[in-house]
Structure 1
Amino acid sequence: MDITRTEEFHPPVLTPKDIQNFLGISKSKTYEFLNSGELHVARAGRTIYVSRVVFLEWLEGKSD
């Protein structure tokens, strides 16, 4: 599957559960990754959100 063509499969803003399912990792590893600072996350209270664009750029090695 062409990773850049996932718009139809993923919403514009991803939740930790979306990322967990996509990467096939545990919940604890997902939160460890999201709290590592490897990619920009947005927080609303205790809830974490990640832009699909930011996540896909990280996945493709295009992030800073």
Structure 2
Amino acid sequence: MMNTQHNEYPNVLDVSHVQTILGIGRRQAYELVNSGQFHIVRVGRRIRISKNVFFEWLNGKEA
């Protein structure tokens, strides 16, 4: 079951947030963020996603 209450998440998400929101496993979450379907930012080895960008993607809006 997807949990899409935006306010409980920080403005910048990490892969574990994506995993929780979508209810998917860690491997699937990493595959998704590396798929190029939405903009991510790499900070060293860490991957960050704008909450707005992610939820717009999730809701089917184009960037």
Same fold (TM over 0.5): yes
CA contact (8 A) 1:41 1:48 kept: yes
Q: Which secondary structure state, in structure 2, belongs to the residue aligned with residue 48 of structure 1?
A: strand
Structure 1 residue runs of 4 or more that deviate by more than 3 Å after TM superposition: none
C-alpha offsets along residues 12-31 of structure 1, whole Å, 9 cap, x if unaligned? 00000001011000000000
TM-score, normalization by structure 1: 0.87
Counterpart AA for 1:10: Y
CA contact (8 A) 1:41 1:51 kept: yes
CA contact (8 A) 1:16 1:30 kept: yes
Distance 2:62 2:47 in 1: 19
Number of aligned pairs? 60
CA contact (8 A) 1:54 1:63 kept: no
Which runs of no fewer than 5 residues in structure 1 stay unpaired?
Answer: none
TM-score, normalization by structure 2: 0.88
Q: Which residue of 2 aligns with 1:52?
A: 51
Q: Which secondary structure state, in structure 1, belongs to the residue aligned with residue 31 of structure 2?
A: helix
1:6-45, aligned counterparts within 5 Å?
Answer: 6=6, 8-45=7-44
